[in-house]
Structure 1
Amino acid sequence: MIKDLTSFISGICLIILSAVLFHEANQLSPFASVFPYAITSVLLLLSVLLIFRSFKIEIKVEKENVDTVKIFLLIIVFFAWIYFLERTGFVLTSLIAFNLLILVNSGLNAGIKKIALYMIFGSIFVLLLYFGFKNLLLVPLPEGLWLRDLQS
Structure 2
Amino acid sequence: MAGRIKVINDPGELVSIFHASDSDVKRKLLIDLSTSWITMPTIAEKYGQEGKRALLYLDKIKMLESQWITTGNGPEKAYHTFYNNVQINLMGTMTELADIIFATNLSEEKLEEYENQLIEMMNDTEGVFLGEASEKLGISQTFLRGIVKRSSILQIKGFKIEKVIPD
Greater relative CO, 1 or 2 (CA 8 Å, sep 6+): 2
TM-score by length of 1: 0.30
Structure with more of its chain in strand, by fraction: 2
Structure with more of its chain in helix, by fraction: 1
TM-score by length of 2: 0.29
Which one has a bigger Cα radius of gyration? 1
